[in-house]
Amino acid sequence: MIKRILFAVLIAVFPASAIAEEAVKYRFGAARAGSDQRARAFGFYSKGCLAGGVQLPETGPTWQAMRLSRNRNWGHPVTIDYIKDLSRKAAQQPGWNGLYIGDISQPRGGPMVSGHRSHQLGLDVDIWLRPPRNLTLSPSEREHISAISMRRANGAYVNDKWTRAHHEILKAAAQDPRVARIFIFGGAKVQMCADEKGDRAWLRKIRPWWGHHYHFHVRLNCPRGSGKCEDQAPPPPGDGCDEARTWVGMHILRTIPLPPPDPNAPPPKPRRELTLSDLPRQCAAVLSSR
């Protein structure tokens, strides 16, 4: 809220053209609804925007959107359909009534004020690893309930909260042809590699990534009709299990205390914020559309 007030003050004091280059993430963050345009994704997952975004209903028969105050339960229509389809499959697993859905995108995509570097096209979605036994949570409860880590303490392996249902839900998520990649912590990928005795082709899409032990991150391919959407390169050939085991080893090494940093070393340079000129030219129209 404070950042939005400051942005309003900046607009009043400085020319709008200057603000567009310096604070584009605030302009996207301030949009409360999708643009009145045909649904299309422009750019790349970490540098783009979303036209014609659709809101995932806060509650459905097999899902609930979490952290509603963020207003990040918007996505491309293909993403919304995917979430509904996967949630129905998840509800067939023992102990799961569906899915708790984390961040998808802002109403018009684009850079976010806080959190993700990606999720800019409405084609990324975070799905909690906590089994949703209660789909009648109030908005207040959704702000305060915690996701549950599946990673064993002091290591990268799964803990005793990981179940076969997690395996089957991720398998169903990856087997959908709309999916490009799924990011999850390396220990989960190693466990799935050990447990899968049938078709292993879907494991290729499961990619180890730091921090994803409370949720998994699904990234969809660019939908048809989004000619200005840039697909991510396909994963390397094979099931990726050897790579996951390497990630686990790297994680364990990261838990070993390191020497203190050199106090005389120069501080790292902050990452430059994206400006409107960094994004596809169509994003200016997405922002200005009704």
> Is the pLDDT at 114 greater than 90, yes or no?
no
* Residue 56 near residue 71 (C-beta atoms within 8 A): no
Cα–Cα distance list, 194 to 75, 108, 244 (Å): 34, 40, 11
- Residue 80 pLDDT more than 90? yes
Mean pLDDT value of segment 108-134: 94
pLDDT confidence band for 91 (50 / 70 / 90) = very high
Sign of the torsion formed by the C-alpha atoms of 175, 118, 249 and 128:
negative
Give the span between the Cα atoms of 148 and 39, in whole angstroms. 34
pTM: 0.87
Q: Enumerate domains of the chain plus CATH numbers.
A: 2-256+272-288 (3.30.1380.10)
Q: What is the pLDDT of residues 4-53, one digit of tens each?
A: 444 444 334 434 444 445 579 999 999 999 999 999 999 999 999 999 99
pLDDT for the residue 278: 93
